[in-house]
Structure 1
Amino acid sequence: MKPILLSSIICICLCFSRPSGSLAQDRLVIISPHWEGIRYEFGRGFKAFYQAESGREVKVEWMDVGGTSDVLRFIKSEFSNKPDGIDIDLMFGGGSDPYLELSRTNLLAPYQLPDSLLSAIPQKAGGFPLYDADYHWYGATMAGFGIIFNKRVMERMRLPNPKTWEDLTDPALFSWVGSADPRKSGSAHMPFEIILQAYGWERGWQIITALGANARSFANTGSQVPKDVTTGEIAYGMAIDFYAWAQINEVGPEMIGYTMPDNLTILNPDAIGMLKGAPNSEIARSFLRFVFSEAGQRLWMQKPGTPGGPERFQLSRFTVLPDLYRRIDPAYTSVTFNPFTWTSTFVYDA
């Protein structure tokens, strides 16, 4: 055999060979509106989980096409051109409404979690289902909507403790209330929808009008309002829970409080689901098992560096495993509210 031909064959064999003892690498593609912290912690955690479960390595690829509405629009557009599958395995995050729509249009693939995991998840929280009856989607965590308040400002200015949305209409609170612009922020839009449904159309608009009159300003993003409360620019703000917990973690519960009005708000599952035609369906199922394992659920609540907690980012979200609220050391988490002890007769019409 000629030396040049022999060298070529050897090079080709080396390119396609795998060193003995190395692990095969699999692939998972996730489209998500989640922020960097969630992507990093769940990507890192899943790699360890998958290696222990399968003995293989996995590469997690995150697709970022924008916010929740952008993700939903992208998925529907892709399926209109490729109805059998769009080369994406999972959608992760974005509330529950997108998953209801994807399920209605048969763009999600069902997967029933093992009984050992499914039995630990309540069917409902706050009157809202935590997973689809046909297993097309599951609530990986939950989001609540309430009022963040600055205790020191309230004490200094002799302002009342808020318990309901209607409390924010008190004329004594003029210029001390904050909200994001509901036209620009989904987390700001939801409380206004809740007020209209909880109080009724006529009374709801009266409350929104009076609340708006008390507002110092309307921020462009939902995350800005809790920051304004923390700095004392305002005393009260309408906020989604994890923005509030982030501020409580930063400055302490002795300064910042958060309440979810009884019977006047909702817990909304922040879901995950496998897309139809997922190219890596077995790995996607493994990711779902990880998300609902104790190892995955601890990432939502615990502080970075605590045993079983995240490595770099504090996520400050609810777990969907009720037992963890009892078993996680309070020193390991900034989430002080247990949604499973919270009751509400209010049923939100999505």
Structure 2
Amino acid sequence: MSGSSVGGVSIPGWRILVVLLCFGVVLALPFVFREPRIVDETDARRVIIISPHNEQIRYEFGYGFERWHELKYGEPARVVWSTPGGTSEIRKMLQSDWKAALKQGQQPGGNADLVFGGGSYEHGQFKRGVKLTLEDRDQEQVSAWVRRLGANSVPSLDDPSKIVSLTIGDVQVELTPQGNSTSLWSITADSSISIPAGIPTDHLKKTYGRTQVAGTPLWDEDQYWLGTALSAFGIIFNNDLLRELEVPQPVSWDALCSPKLRQEVALVNPAQSGSVTTAFETILKRRDWTPGWWILRRAAANARYFSASSLRAPTDVAQGDAAMGVSIDFFGRFESQSLRDHGAGDRVGYIDPPGETMLDPDPISLLMNPPDPEMARRFIEFTLEPAGQSLWQFPPGESADGLGPRQYSLRRLPVSADLYQSHLNRFVDQIDPFVNAEPPPFNDRNMRSFISTVFQACAMDTIVELEAAWNAIVTHPAYPEDDEGIVTAADVSDPQLKQMLELFDDIPDIPGPDGQQWSLSTKEGRATIKAGWLKRGWADAGLWDSEANPARALRRFLSEQFIGNYRQIVRMSQVNDEKQPS
């Protein structure tokens, strides 16, 4: 024989066999020693949830619900997450899906059970739903559409003076004859996107312990949405960068206005994020319209970018790509905590500007025609019970009572009154937001309607001109040195700088019918402009092209005015430079 053997296997072959065996053991170890999954996905009932929440929240609520469901109901459950974007993007997606279904005569929904997360405004829009009108349908087309939608019978369409009203499933339908005959009809379909959760009111009152916080409802009175946590809004900041820039830590929204922060502020497009729109709304409702826009415009002039996601700003500040950013409280606290846990110390901080933030419920909504309504309602039940509420504020790790997150410290504020009364000492942030919470002093709901339009017009559409104008102002010889706050025209005596600041902060009046002008700076003006422009009340006044979207037309009008002001500021600066002695 050419070599020795072991058990009939040659020594080299035996060695290879041992290596392969060891390799197989290594591969198997994770499967042998890992914690058994609670859910056997082949047998588990699913709940499909659309959410803007980050990965950590999805993990804790997915794992927590599956574990809780197994213990309470004795059967496996599985959470399937869908994450198409922020809440505004989710709303637009669902509105588009609902309209497409109604256009085809189909009942909307059926693809997901719940929307979990986002602000109360966006969930209010889910309740409001969509309205679609189909014109010029003959009787046969109307009858076919009604049948496809699920009607048991087709109404008579023989009376040209009669509007036929129907409820088919959860869709409200009106059939209106066009003209004085019954040959052509219009179909109007009205459908909410969410539906009532159907939880006994007494149970909700016991769970929440109150109906509102600082004037803001904690749940919709018809249960189209239910708050699961509370959000506040503030500033995330990078201490290393602030030291380099010689900028103090923020104590108020004014900090975003420092000229030293040019290209250092992380902002988000409010048109793509409902939570950031609420953050901007907070500034306006706390400071009032004009002072609020002083802050928002200077912050925009300092912006490094305008992101499409509210997640990016805190991430970039944490990574040192920006010095400050507007952030939802839990994103800011999470980034700060995460870096501290990894040995980064106080590199990143977060502040809710004292007395200048607002609390907004972070809701859950049951969607129309959910695939599994029972599982959907069980998930809602879980989010409001201690098992779900404790995930927001308890530290991660095992606990004797099984409450709290498994791996991540989420650092959000729960809504359950009982949790604050019995477990506040276990909170990571030992804060009771219901103590001393006060409504904002300038609580005009119409402010929100204009935030996206005005911000895009004064900042995003005009960013080159805005930055040039801002640079011209802060480098003007008369601009106060080392002023970290807001400098307005009223704060300076130099006539040229005063005029430059007046132009910079100007928001033009909006044209109305018959040559009237309306100001966005007043409550009455905002209500009138909203009704006339955004609600198309002045559609026949010739203020915009009949085929145009009035909100976009208003944005273009404002953009042109802002660009003119910014360019005039730059020209004034250039004239001033020419006058300076060489």
Where on the TM-score scale, by shorter chain, does this alignment land: which range?
0.7 to 0.9
SS at match of 1:299: helix
Aligned match of 1:299:
391
Contact 2:267 2:300 in 1 (8 A): no
The offset of 1:242, in angstroms, is: 1.4
Seen in structure 2, the aligned counterparts of structure 1 residues 61 and 239 have a Cα distance that, compared at 3 Å, is: closer
Seen in structure 2, the aligned counterparts of structure 1 residues 348 and 251 have a Cα distance that, compared at 3 Å, is: farther
- In 1, distance between residues paired with 2:54 and 2:255? 32
Equivalent residue runs for 1:125-204 within 5 Å: 125-150=213-238, 159-170=247-258, 173-175=260-262, 178-182=265-269, 186=273, 187-204=275-292
Q: Tell me the TM-score normalised to structure 2 length.
A: 0.49
Seen in structure 2, the aligned counterparts of structure 1 residues 37 and 155 have a Cα distance that, compared at 3 Å, is: closer
- In 1, distance between residues paired with 2:320 and 2:431? 23
Q: What residue identity is the alignment partner of 2:368?
A: K
After superposition, what is the alpha-carbon deviation per residue over 1:210-263, rounded to whole angstroms, capped at 9, x for unaligned? 3345x3623635444434544666654322111211122124485544322344
Seen in structure 2, the aligned counterparts of structure 1 residues 84 and 240 have a Cα distance that, compared at 3 Å, is: closer
The offset of 1:98, in angstroms, is: 2.6
Unpaired segments ≥5 residues, structure 1: 1-22
Match of 1:217 among 283, 297, 304: 304
The offset of 1:185, in angstroms, is: 5.8
Contact 2:389 2:416 in 1 (8 A): yes
Match of 1:339 among 428, 433, 439: 433
Aligned match of 1:98:
122
Q: Does 1:113 align with 2:199?
A: yes
Seen in structure 2, the aligned counterparts of structure 1 residues 120 and 202 have a Cα distance that, compared at 3 Å, is: same
Contact 1:226 1:244 in 2 (8 A): yes
Equivalent residue runs for 1:1-350 within 5 Å: 25-80=44-99, 81=101, 82-83=106-107, 85-105=109-129, 106-114=192-200, 115-116=202-203, 118-121=205-208, 122-150=210-238, 159-170=247-258, 173-175=260-262, 178-182=265-269, 186=273, 187-213=275-301, 215=302, 217-218=304-305, 220=307, 221-230=309-318, 236-252=324-340, 256-307=348-399, 308-325=403-420, 327-328=422-423, 333=428, 335-346=429-440, 347=443, 349=445, 350=448
- In 2, distance between residues paired with 1:263 and 1:74? 35
The offset of 1:131, in angstroms, is: 0.4
Q: What residue identity is the alignment partner of 1:113?
A: I
Seen in structure 2, the aligned counterparts of structure 1 residues 180 and 64 have a Cα distance that, compared at 3 Å, is: same
- In 2, distance between residues paired with 1:212 and 1:193? 15
Contact 1:262 1:344 in 2 (8 A): no
> Which structure is larger by alpha-carbon Rg, 1 or 2?
2
SS at match of 1:119: helix
Q: What residue identity is the alignment partner of 2:369?
A: G
- In 2, distance between residues paired with 1:174 and 1:55? 56
Seen in structure 2, the aligned counterparts of structure 1 residues 134 and 265 have a Cα distance that, compared at 3 Å, is: same
- In 2, distance between residues paired with 1:332 and 1:203? 36
Q: What residue identity is the alignment partner of 2:433?
A: P
Unpaired segments ≥5 residues, structure 2: 1-41, 130-191, 449-582
Contact 2:264 2:322 in 1 (8 A): yes
Q: What residue identity is the alignment partner of 1:98?
A: E
The offset of 1:314, in angstroms, is: 3.2
After superposition, what is the alpha-carbon deviation per residue over 1:14-47, rounded to whole angstroms, capped at 9, x for unaligned? xxxxxxxxx9743322222223322222122222
After superposition, what is the alpha-carbon deviation per residue over 1:72-115, rounded to whole angstroms, capped at 9, x for unaligned? 23323333313264242212122222321121233322124353
Contact 1:179 1:222 in 2 (8 A): no
Seen in structure 2, the aligned counterparts of structure 1 residues 204 and 85 have a Cα distance that, compared at 3 Å, is: closer
CA RMSD of aligned residues (A): 3.3
Q: What residue identity is the alignment partner of 1:290?
A: F
SS at match of 2:232: strand
Contact 2:207 2:384 in 1 (8 A): no
Contact 1:109 1:276 in 2 (8 A): yes
After superposition, what is the alpha-carbon deviation per residue over 1:311-347, rounded to whole angstroms, capped at 9, x for unaligned? 23332322112443465476762x3544223523313
- In 2, distance between residues paired with 1:100 and 1:67? 15
Q: What residue identity is the alignment partner of 2:304?
A: S
SS at match of 2:230: strand
- In 1, distance between residues paired with 2:319 and 2:362? 29
- In 2, distance between residues paired with 1:227 and 1:90? 27
- In 2, distance between residues paired with 1:305 and 1:118? 30
- In 2, distance between residues paired with 1:244 and 1:219? 18
Q: What residue identity is the alignment partner of 1:300?
A: W
After superposition, what is the alpha-carbon deviation per residue over 1:179-215, rounded to whole angstroms, capped at 9, x for unaligned? 32436762544433433343333322222333345x3
Q: Which moved more, 1:130-139 or 1:29-38?
A: 29-38
The offset of 1:145, in angstroms, is: 0.8
- In 1, distance between residues paired with 2:50 and 2:226? 16
The offset of 1:279, in angstroms, is: 3.3
- In 2, distance between residues paired with 1:138 and 1:310? 21
Contact 1:32 1:63 in 2 (8 A): yes
Q: Which moved more, 1:120-129 or 1:335-344?
A: 335-344
- In 1, distance between residues paired with 2:270 and 2:333? 24
- In 2, distance between residues paired with 1:137 and 1:184? 22
Seen in structure 2, the aligned counterparts of structure 1 residues 191 and 77 have a Cα distance that, compared at 3 Å, is: closer
Q: Tell me the TM-score normalised to structure 1 length.
A: 0.78
- In 2, distance between residues paired with 1:74 and 1:159? 41
Structure with more contact order per residue of length (Cα contacts < 8 Å, sep ≥ 6)? 1
- In 1, distance between residues paired with 2:405 and 2:319? 27
Q: What residue identity is the alignment partner of 1:298?
A: S
Contact 1:126 1:339 in 2 (8 A): no
